[in-house]
């Protein structure tokens, strides 16, 4: 099962039909995906299941209905064990961005973290899960698949927000501050921290 977020509302891609749930069920084969996204954006649907019988083909199937863009991002720790956050569009987020032509996804993640925060001396310690969310650009809906990496940084300077990307602040947060920041963050970012706790 995959969890895709539309405006922070969950859209589950599943091969199971659950009885008596508070989720609306749609068939991936026949759904008008754009209409479903619009309804979720406009709060007419809070959560939904998108059913397709073959779990292995489910992601391929949705990619036939909606264009996909690939991104890489970092869950970055410094020497003190603090986590690097950016503040954009009124929410705390983690640095991430789209791949450039010919770039490997881990290189995208490292480049984007450095560009968005000014934080260098980065190295990847492990690959984390992918997250999925739907956004609108130039009047078209797209599915963003973000590949996340846990990183360490030996950077000791002052982070600098990439203002032309709409980033207002960059901050290092200790575990208590992370909990506070996550109250004003995105659902897919919270998923990464759930994984970290495990």
Over the chain (198 residues), the average pLDDT of each successive run of 10 is 92 84 87 95 92 93 94 98 97 97 97 98 97 92 97 97 97 97 96 79
For residue 33, give Cα distances in angstroms to 52, 104, 127, 132, 135: 13, 30, 30, 15, 13
CB burial string 26-58: b at 16+ within 10 A, e below: bebeebebeebbebbeeeebeebbbbbeeeeeb
Can you give the pLDDT at residue 97? 97
Give the pairing of strands 68-77 and 140-153: parallel
Can you give the pLDDT at residue 17? 83
pTM for this one?
A: 0.92
Q: Does domain 68-197 have CATH number 3.40.50.1370?
A: no
Can you give the pLDDT at residue 93? 98
Q: Write down the domain spans for the chain.
A: 2-65, 68-197
Query: Do the beta carbons of residue 150 and residue 75 sit within 8 Å?
Result: yes
- What span, in angstroms and rounded, lies between the C-alpha atoms of 40 and 48? 9
Phi, psi of 137, rounded to the nearest 5 degrees: -140, 130
CA 17 to chain centre: 26
Can you give the pLDDT at residue 148? 98
Question: Can you list the positions of beta strands (E) in 67-139?
Answer: 68-77, 83-88, 91-93, 96-98, 122-137
Query: Do the beta carbons of residue 96 and residue 74 sit within 8 Å?
Result: yes
Q: What does the DSSP 8-state code read for residue 140?
A: E
């Amino acid at each position: 099962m995959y969890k895709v977020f539309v405006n922070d509302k969950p859209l589950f891609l599943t091969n199971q039909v659950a009885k008596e749930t508070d989720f609306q069920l749609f068939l991936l084969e026949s759904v008008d995906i754009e209409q479903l996204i619009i309804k979720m954006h406009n709060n007419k649907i809070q959560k939904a299941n998108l059913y397709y019988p073959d779990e292995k083909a489910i992601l391929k199937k949705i990619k036939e209905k909606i264009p996909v863009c690939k991104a890489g991002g970092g869950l970055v720790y410094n020497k003190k064990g603090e986590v690097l956050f950016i503040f954009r569009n009124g929410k705390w987020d983690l640095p991430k961005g789209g791949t450039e032509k010919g770039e490997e996804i881990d290189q995208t993640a490292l480049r984007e973290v450095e560009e968005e925060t000014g934080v260098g001396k980065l190295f990847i310690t492990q690959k984390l899960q992918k997250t999925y969310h739907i956004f609108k650009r130039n009047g078209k809906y797209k599915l963003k698949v973000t590949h996340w990496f846990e990183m360490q940084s030996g950077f000791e300077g002052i982070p600098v927000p990439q203002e032309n990307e709409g980033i207002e602040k960059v901050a290092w947060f200790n575990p208590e501050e992370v909990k506070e920041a996550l109250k004003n963050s995105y659902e897919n970012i919270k998923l990464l921290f759930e994984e970290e706790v495990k």
